[in-house]
Amino acid sequence: MTNESTMSGDEQLLLRDVRALLDQLQLDRDHSLTLQSKLTDDLGVDSLALVELCDQLERTFDVSLPDEVFLTASTPQQWFDAVVAARAGTSAPRDANRIEEPVTHTPHSMSERSLAASKRITSFIRAARHARRTRAREGASRQLSDPVGSMLYSLYAWLLLVPFAVSIWLLAVLPLSRARRRDAGRAVARFTCRALGLSVEVEGEMPDTEHPCVIAANHSSFVDGLVLYVFLDQPVTFVASTDMEHQFLLGRIMKGFGCVFVDRGRAERSATSVEILKSTIRSGHHVLIFPEGSISARPGLRVFHLGAFETAASSNCPVVPVGIRGSRDVLRPGSFRPHRGAMRVVVGEPVMPAGNEFTDRVSMRDEVRDAIAHLCGEDGP
């Protein structure tokens, strides 16, 4: 695999987009992608997928790539070179809606058959890109022409979410066992998701509670915790900051549903927090932690804190990486307007601690982060 520590930030962004495409196509299962990988010959990426990659790179880097890039770029490095050239303005400017005539002069070494094939490929690519742009413009027009529909859905969603929140709060304060509270809360949440037009698919299985573990997941939306609590097949104990503990509504709900609150302050406080989490694991509970600590409006994984991996190493239990896809589109960070959508939760293979040294914890953190980046289709600096 590519040593990303020696790569520029833009090269990492480009590889992130390529990896996301390969994940969608279920290609490169052995994660062999490098800047020099041949996308078509080695990894099996077809022409239509390359059209999607080109559009994504144009959005990521805010450039316009010429159609000829499909004939000249076969590796991520060559796509990156094309992006750099487009930024520098060394490629001829291109009108996004104009389909140009293919170049007719070629080197003498190119046969007429090769020239004809190149023309057919170029024509196919241009037609495909033109069709995608047309669909995108039509979609944008529909969104602009239907602000009333979007507002009505938001109103409908909150008419459901307010009684849902009240119901969950009542379950949190009623004298119920934790198991009954969890079953009732999951049932109410599943009904609410169906009413909102949200679908959640879970791939993979959690270890049973006879083998408690630390669960580490990416965090890109406020709905992530709810999705994991409701749709994972095993009970989980959430970990949250003590800042949340004394909030009237949310804090009381989290307490009632068994959340563990820890202090993320100085080292001695962190040590106490790890002891609390170790005790929770010893009592036979899965502990769920978002190692990023908080959400960000910017797509991509943030830096992982070491608390989850300190807990796993100290408890000699595995960390199970979990990737969440689609939640950012359902409720974007900083927004109070939910959207219909499909979410997917992918449970990865457990990662066991390699030792008790600090370097072992860092190594485990990096391995789990790479796994989650693959599972959720996002990466970041």
Mean pLDDT to the nearest integer, 146-150:
73
Residues 263 and 209 in one domain: yes
Instruction: List the CATH number of the domain containing 193.
Output: 3.40.1130.10
Are 307 and 337 in contact by the 8 Å Cβ rule? The answer is no
pTM: 0.62
Domain count for the chain, please give it: 2
Amino acid in position 134: T
pLDDT in tens, 214-233: 999 999 999 999 999 999 98
Tell whether the model's pLDDT for residue 130 goes beyond 80. Answer: no
| β strands within the chain, DSSP E | 198-203, 214-217, 236-241, 260-262, 286-289, 319-325, 341-347
pLDDT in tens, 55-112: 888 888 888 888 888 888 999 999 999 999 998 876 544 433 433 444 444 444 445 5
pLDDT at 100: 40
**Domain carrying residue 138:** 4-144
More confident residue, 327 or 59: 327
pLDDT at 52: 80
Domain contains 210? yes
Domain contains 193? yes
Residues 220 and 366 in one domain: yes
pLDDT in tens, 171-215: 999 999 989 999 999 999 999 999 999 999 999 999 988 899 999
More confident residue, 140 or 187: 187
pLDDT at 293: 83
Mean pLDDT to the nearest integer, 121-139:
58
Rounded CA-CA distance 202/229 in Å is 12
Helices (H), 250-306: 250-256, 267-282
Within 10 A of 103 (CB to CB), how many other CB atoms are there? 12
Residues 186 and 331 in one domain: yes
pLDDT at 123: 62
Q: Provide DSSP, 19-36.
A: HHHHHHHT--TT----TT
Domain contains 221? yes
**Of the residues 93, 120, 144, the one at which a domain ends:** 144
